[in-house]
Structures are given as C-alpha cells and as structure tokens.
Amino acid sequence: MVTLIRTLLMMSLPSRLIALRKDMGLTQQQMADTVGVHVNSLKKYEAGQAQPSLDALKKMALALHVSTDFLLFDEHERVLSEDLALQLEAVSQMPADEQMVVREVLESLIIKYQSRRWDSGRQAAKG
C-alpha cells in the first residue's frame, strides 16, 4: 500500500484517477455511475481532456477513499507553510457549519487553480 501511495503521488490527476479506480476494481462505467457522470465524461477526465466539476471531484474522492487534495496536488504541493498550518488549526476550532463554508471556499479555489494550471499546460502543448 505504501508503494502504491508513493507511486500515486508522482502521477497527474488523470493517472491517479485511473490507478485508484483500477485499484478499487471499478470499471469506468461503475465509477461514472458512482460519481453520477456520463462514462464519456469520466473517460475525458482520465485522458486529461477535461477537468471534473467540484461536485464530481468530491464524489470521486469519496468513491476512491482519498481526499480531493490527494487527487489534485503533486507531492511537493502538499507541504503546509507554518502560517497556513496555523490558519487551518484556527479553522478547526470553528463550529462545524463555519468549517464547511471554509472547506467549500477552499475547494472552489483549488478547482479554479487546477483548471488554470491544466488549461495553461494544454495551451503550451498546442505550441
């Protein structure tokens, strides 16, 4: 399992989705049904041709038993700065409903960042 996690950390989102889905023994159709997207959408996510919506990403993370940041971020992007760690600690002291708002805002910003990153990579590949 540790080797699988290390391998997954070196992969892109599409590669992680494929590896985790296969590790769970799910076909593309089963995964698409679980997430509530058309199988063609899932195929595009796995091919790197499209980015999943925030809702689909959350459902994929739940189905694959990982966090959304595990799916989205590379290993070097997962290191918390001391300031961010302190802010997250402060958030953990908030009531559950306020924590949910913070999570939703963060996840939205993460998706926006990943979309820009994916789009700029796609533009660079076109030359």
18-28 confidence digits (pLDDT tens):
999 999 999 99
Q: Are 87 and 81 in contact (CB under 8 A)?
A: no
Record the tokens describing residue 12, joined without a space.
């892109």
SS3 percent helix, strand, coil of the chain, rounded to 5, is 75, 0, 25
Note the residue count of the chain. Answer: 127
Is it the case that residue 64 has pLDDT exceeding 80?
A: yes
The CATH number of 2-126 is: 1.10.260.40
d(CA 104, CA 13): 20
pLDDT, tens digit, 9 for 90 and up, residues 89-122: 899 899 999 999 998 998 888 888 888 877 776 6
Average pLDDT for the chain = 84
Identify the sign of the CA torsion 60, 64, 69, 74: negative
Record the tokens describing residue 44, joined without a space.
């595009």
